[in-house]
Amino acid sequence: MKTTAPLMTNQIDIDQLTPLEAAVELARLAEEIARHDRAYYQSDAPSISDADYDALRQRNAAIEAAFPELVRADSPTRRVGATPAEGFGKIRHARPMLSLDNAFTDADVEEFAGRVRRFLGLADGETVALVAEPKIDGLSISLRYEKGRFVQGATRGDGTEGEDVTANLRTINDLPRQLSGPVPDVLEVRGEVYMLRADFLAMNEARKTQGDKTLFANPRNAAAGSLRQLDPDITASRPLSLFCYALGEVSEPIADTHWDFLARLRSWGFKVNDRVRLCGGVDDALAFYHAIGEERALLPYDIDGVVYKVNRFDWQERLGQVSRSPRWATAHKFPAEQVQTLLHEIAISVGRTGALTPYAILEPVTVGGVVVSRATLHNEDEIVRKDIRAGDTVIIQRAGDVIPQIVAVVEAKRPAEARPFVPPEICPVCGSHAVKPEGEAIRRCTGGLTCDAQRVERLIHFASRGAFDIEGLGEKNVEFLFRTGRIRGPADIFRLEGQEEQSLLPLRTQPGWGAKSTQKLFEAIRARRVISLERFILALGIRQVGEATARLLARHYLSLDAWRDAMLAAAQNREGDAWLQLTAIDQIGPAVATDIADFFLEEHNRQAVADLARQLERIEDFVPTAKAASPVSGKTVVFTGTLTGMSRDEAKARAQELGAKVAGSVSAKTDYVVAGQDAGSKLTKARDLGVAILSEEEWLSLIGR
Ligand code: IVH
């Protein structure tokens, strides 16, 4: 083997890297390692020595451990030994593949059960049966059967669209290719591909003896790496297993309960975990969790918690989902592994909204199978509360898989000279004042868009998937375009193509920017000159305005002009109508409203919005997607009093699904007030304002229930 690539010249000590430099280097490493992997796996022609290759991977892993928030979707650590994803076709899931909300304590689980009861409006005596299942630590997949025959399988991907791994799945012994007995014409089953611990150890052992350079870090990585191989023969040689546990699309009802559904899965020939248990209620479910927690190390496969699912399917359906997780299930995670290490220094990073986030630089230590050398410290109050000081020995853990956290300080080991943390009053990136308003947890840089950290982070957010979703404009490229002065603000992205034509050093002549990829980028940008209002709002990066809030705003104000005018009016008078209307939107409280208003008070933000809008061809007004034709879509509804047929939460959720706007208070803009029993002042106000008042029954018949 010979080395062809000059390796890591000018390598900066990881402790000295700024987040920006780290992001750039991670991007470079991902690309470089992928290139060597391709040479090795696809062309069977290694382009680099083993030692150099290992050094690249180690450097990548160390930077990722130091900057866990920068771990890339295409990170080499997530793709151990596997070929890159670009070779797989894409499959749109007929029903989205949801993820699960997490519970960490018994109390969290009780709360989950309480939420379910409240949502369903259950009487005290009524029990909610739950199915408890081991949470298998593998990767989830969707399997499609037509007339009982396995026709297609996909990874979860982003939940909406996954990778076509049909050929690879066919190589797994546990997967039935033909189902036995009568089966619905269309049946989509979801499950987890995993690797038995013994198989994993044997496989790694064999790789070691064969002199293979990539050992897998754990069974989960091994399963993921093995399934996502472009060559199904490689997958076939890997010992993969499969459990099935959920339903996707189905052409006819197959059971009334999850428990019966699992029994049907078994009868058709699917592998269902034999530890699943039907529990009469929360106490039963928690007992299962604690018992299996004790046995965990003895199980033949890794589990990272227990999943609880409401047994009745009709209840599951009524409960529905919030953003990307079902209300009818939750994952009760096992506590994370904890270890002690030395905290060398408390450093500060600056994010998209100017938030100064302290983080700890640690003596590297292995926790949960990964070497960690940094940990988030969240905010100053947290540091003060836990009295964390440079020089302390601290207990750390990795929460929910990735981000390392400091749990506590070991005070007995504190050196005499350790001094309490003093927060910075100056932004470490731009030197502007950094202030922390009374009562707030977060210190912020006042530099706004003059602070480069904020500009780049905002641009990255702007082009990201949920926002403008500009393909080819990921972190690395945004950073490059920013650093070379081509883009300073969002609107510049849309001027890029024109400027490039006149540039003396056009992009396509820069390393890593071929004429073809540049052309593709311009096309991707052009395609986004038409954008939906909700994406536009989200892309602005206003503090606390995430996907759900952006959608609420779009749904209420419908067009950019209406929204912008209203926000400006709300910003200028925090007691006026516009403000009251904004804060009356269900789920938008005064704190979010204040952030939106503050954004519009800044002249440079208003200019940026106007500048961007000018660059676009069209900002599409919000069209309620759920049921555009629903009789209540676009209407503003207020619920008051006690409803008998369903809880208030369920009523609101249903109304929103049908495209209605749910408000918390009555105004002249309210279309309907739905009055339950003992309705009070809102009903009176509705009468005064002449707003249409509906009884619960009238409401149900209006929405066709
Ligand atoms: S149910 C809508 N059941 O956990 C419900 N998931 O954190 C879909 N998982 O993406 C998931 N064991 O990869 C379910 N018995 C089980 C599971 C399980 C493992 C994984 C699955 C899912 C993730 C959510």
Going by CA atoms, what residue is nearest to atom 17 of ligand 1? Answer: 135
Going by CA atoms, what residue is nearest to atom 16 of ligand 1? Answer: 135
Among residues 2, 90, 135, 386, the one annotated as catalytic is 135
Which of 41-55, 165-179, 376-390, 626-640 has maximum average pLDDT?
A: 165-179
∠ Cα 552 553 555 (to 5°)? 65
Check whether 398 has a pLDDT greater than 80.
Answer: no
Inter-residue contact 154 to 162 (CB < 8 Å): yes
Q: How far is CA 13 from the centre of its chain?
A: 30
pLDDT at residue 320, rounded to an integer: 93
Q: What is the pLDDT of residues 467-512, one digit of tens each?
A: 999 999 998 899 889 988 899 899 999 999 988 877 777 888 888 8
- As a whole number, the mean pLDDT across the chain is 87
pLDDT at residue 404, rounded to an integer: 83
> Which two tokens mark 115?
């939420």
pLDDT at residue 22, rounded to an integer: 84
Ligand 1 site, residue 101, Cβ cutoff 6 A: no
End-to-end CA distance of the chain: 70
Distance 167 CA to ligand 1 centre (A): 23
pLDDT at residue 345, rounded to an integer: 95
Which of 327-331, 517-521, 555-559, 627-631 has maximum average pLDDT?
A: 327-331
Inter-residue contact 619 to 613 (CB < 8 Å): yes
pLDDT at residue 79, rounded to an integer: 55
For 416, the 3-state DSSP assignment is: coil
Under the banding of pLDDT at 50, 70 and 90, the label for residue 46 is low
Give the pairing type, strands 692-695 and 661-663. Answer: unpaired
Q: What is the pLDDT of residues 526-585, one digit of tens each?
A: 999 999 999 999 999 898 899 889 999 998 999 999 999 999 999 999 999 999 999 988
Name the packing angle between helices 452-463 and 475-483 (round to 10°): 140
Distance 201 CA to ligand 1 centre (A): 24
pLDDT at residue 44, rounded to an integer: 45
Q: What is the pLDDT of residues 412-447, one digit of tens each?
A: 999 999 999 999 999 998 888 898 988 888 899 887
E strand or H helix at 144: strand 139-146
Going by CA atoms, what residue is nearest to atom 9 of ligand 1? Answer: 135
* Region for residue 678 given its phi and psi (left: phi exceeds 0; alpha: psi -120 to 50; beta: otherwise): left
Ligand 1 site, residue 132, Cβ cutoff 6 A: no
Inter-residue contact 116 to 310 (CB < 8 Å): yes
CA distances from 244 to 135, 150, 228 (A): 11, 14, 19
Q: Which atom of ligand 1 is nearest to the CA of 331?
A: 7
Check whether 366 has a pLDDT greater than 80.
Answer: no
Check whether 343 has a pLDDT greater than 70.
Answer: yes
pLDDT at residue 6, rounded to an integer: 32
Nearest CA-CA partner of 426 in 411, 417, 436: 436
Give the pairing type, strands 90-92 and 161-163. Answer: antiparallel
Catalytic residue flag (residue 135): yes
Dihedral sign of CA atoms 54, 58, 59, 60 in order: positive
Under the banding of pLDDT at 50, 70 and 90, the label for residue 40 is low
Under the banding of pLDDT at 50, 70 and 90, the label for residue 130 is very high
∠ Cα 557 558 563 (to 5°)? 40
Going by CA atoms, what residue is nearest to atom 6 of ligand 1? Answer: 135
Under the banding of pLDDT at 50, 70 and 90, the label for residue 49 is low
pLDDT at residue 2, rounded to an integer: 31
Inter-residue contact 374 to 362 (CB < 8 Å): yes
Query: Which residue among 97, 131, 136, 258 is best mutated to probe the pocket of ligand 1, counting the most ligand atoms within 8 A of its Cβ?
Result: 136
Helical residues (DSSP H) of 540-678, grouped into ranges: 547-557, 560-572, 577-584, 590-601, 603-615, 648-657
Share of the chain above pLDDT 90, in %: 50
pLDDT at residue 598, rounded to an integer: 87
Q: How far is CA 674 from the centre of its chain?
A: 35
Inter-residue contact 613 to 623 (CB < 8 Å): no
State the Cα–Cα distance between residues 600 and 564, nearest whole angstrom.
Answer: 8
Ligand 1 site, residue 79, Cβ cutoff 6 A: no
Distance 192 CA to ligand 1 centre (A): 7
Q: What is the DSSP letter of 356?
A: E
pLDDT at residue 47, rounded to an integer: 67
Q: What is the pLDDT of residues 1-28, one digit of tens each?
A: 333 333 333 467 787 788 788 888 888 8
Going by CA atoms, what residue is nearest to atom 1 of ligand 1? Answer: 246
Burial class (CB in 10 A: 0-12, 13-18, 19+), 469: middle
> Rounded to the nearest 10 degrees, how much is the dihedral formed by the CA atoms of 39, 43, 45, 51?
30
State the Cα–Cα distance between residues 340 and 281, nearest whole angstrom.
Answer: 38
Ligand 1 site, residue 703, Cβ cutoff 6 A: no
Who's near 49: CB < 8 A, 6+ residues apart? 1, 2, 3
576-605: b (≥16 Cβ within 10 Å) or e = eebbbbbbbbbebeeebbbebbebbeeeeb
Q: Averaged over 367-394, what is the pLDDT?
A: 87
Q: What is the pLDDT of residues 443-478, one digit of tens each?
A: 998 877 678 888 888 899 999 988 999 999 998 899
pLDDT at residue 86, rounded to an integer: 58
Lowest mean pLDDT among 78-92, 407-421, 541-555, 655-669: 78-92
> Which two tokens mark 84?
């890159």
Ligand 1 site, residue 245, Cβ cutoff 6 A: yes
Ligand 1 site, residue 224, Cβ cutoff 6 A: no
Distance 451 CA to ligand 1 centre (A): 41
State the Cα–Cα distance between residues 171 and 232, nearest whole angstrom.
Answer: 7
Going by CA atoms, what residue is nearest to atom 7 of ligand 1? Answer: 100
Nearest CA-CA partner of 321 in 246, 241, 421: 246
Q: Which atom of ligand 1 is nearest to the CA of 135?
A: 12
Under the banding of pLDDT at 50, 70 and 90, the label for residue 157 is confident
Q: What is the pLDDT of residues 257-311, one digit of tens each?
A: 999 999 999 999 999 999 999 999 999 999 999 999 999 888 999 999 999 999 9
